[in-house]
Amino acid sequence: MTPLAHDDPNSLACQLRASRGRLAQITGDFEGERLLGPKLAIVNPPLWELGHVAYFQEYWCLRYRGAGDLLPSLLPNADKLYDSAKVAHDTRWDLPLPDITATRKYQADVLQRVMHRLEREPENEALKYFVQLAALHEDMHAEAFHYTRQTLAYTNPYPDAPVENGSGPATNGDIEIAGGVFLLGAHAAGGFVFDNEKWAHEVRIAPYRIARVPVTYADYLDFVEADGYLRREFWEDESWSWQATAQLRAPRYWIRRNDTWMLRRFDATVPLPLRHPVMHVNWHEARAYCRYARRRLPTEAEWEYAAAWDASNLNKQRYPWGDNFPEAAYANLESSGTVMVDSHMRGDSASGCRQMLGNVWEWTESAFGPYPGFVADPYKEYSQPWFGTHKVLRGGSFATSRRLIRNTWRNFFTPDRGDVFAGFRTCALA
């Protein structure tokens, strides 16, 4: 387990309350038929997921004692209902789940008991680790509920328009990166990290050129208008097989009206926001665009190097702009939607790249795998089951928690997942 950067019990209690408050904001109108919703591979039934969040917190912060020792749950049969490693996804709609009132009471009871345990055991390092884990787990599910709302065309849970922060003139072109030996991954002294970030290890990076900003809707529209989805030369075999099944002419949520492309955002149809980063494209689509544009995706090492390395001070930074917490001036996080790629200039990395954190997740070329010497943390199901089948995304989206994200954080999804708030930036071909 990793030492915490902010392990004061009061700070951890505040994190728990903030995570729960954000989850409640995003799911507060889930009632009636929305509590189960349609059976889809890319969503969970919300009633199950709300219970699972409480179960996870109870399991690690109240029940788990190590070495296979587990105290009983507050809820009868909780392990048979909510253990995501053992309860198959397609069965979650058919379980005898408690109703929403009982589920929210379970959430509240668990949270209260965790708070009390923090008060009683302020020096318990294992407890503080698991409290941090539970808070960040809840943050991740809050973002997943954001995806669900988009998938099912529900209203935006944060209807106010996001703030464009510090926009300058249009930002285009590439940044020249000299390359060199770089420590990829997290350092032990950097606070809480997940097992797949451990530990920093040397990689050698050749010189490369990476885009200052992510690919925009305007950029991607050119690909669509060039019939890019129908032209085999832009799609490698695996990606063409996906497209042959998907039968798309444009990214999901694009709508053709009177010879104009529109976009569905939650329950509204809006014009394409041309200077915003393209979103809801999967890894296959990103790579097809790259072949069209005669570009390529960055590896995750190249992405992290561009985000984190300050060549002038020979220093690896926690965030692109330095070590200051990601407030609104630096990154578009915990907001209602994307902003223009020119915004948030104060968050530029030392290399000159913009919006490396926030706005949209960014696909990389890299397969998700372990770093050298990988050892699973107590929550063994977090990373290891997905090695080799998922692709790495970096950087966070507008719906990502500020508590969660940093330069070394690795997200991972299968290459067909376009429901995620993901886009990409490109690199020049050698």
- Of 308, 297, 295, 322, whose CA–CA distance to 395 is shortest? 308
Q: Are residues 310 and 260 in the same domain?
A: yes
Give me the CATH number covering residue 143.
1.20.120
Q: Are residues 168 and 141 in the same domain?
A: no
- Over residues 264-272, the mean pLDDT reads 97
Q: Are residues 15 and 106 in the same domain?
A: yes
Domains held by the chain: number: 2
Q: Are residues 174 and 194 in the same domain?
A: yes
Q: Are residues 263 and 344 in the same domain?
A: yes
Range of the domain at 303: 160-430
Q: In the numeric block, which tokens belong to residue 256?
A: 């053709």
> Where a domain ends, among 151, 181, 199?
151
Q: Round to whole Å and give the CA distance between 29 and 275.
A: 32
Q: Taking a C-beta distance cutoff of 8 angstroms, is the pair 237, 219 a contact?
A: no
Identify whether 1 is part of a domain: no
Q: Are residues 124 and 264 in the same domain?
A: no
259: buried, middle or exposed (CB in 10 Å: 19+, 13-18, 0-12)?
exposed
pLDDT in tens, 326-337: 999 999 999 999
181: pLDDT strictly greater than 50: yes
Q: Are residues 349 and 423 in the same domain?
A: yes
pLDDT in tens, 33-78: 999 999 999 999 999 999 999 999 999 999 999 877 899 999 999 9
1: pLDDT strictly greater than 50: no
Identify whether 2 is part of a domain: no
Over the chain, what is the mean pLDDT?
Answer: 95
> Where a domain ends, among 125, 151, 177?
151
Q: Report the range of poorest mean pLDDT among 13-27, 157-171, 252-266.
A: 157-171
Identify whether 3 is part of a domain: no
> Where a domain ends, among 105, 123, 151?
151
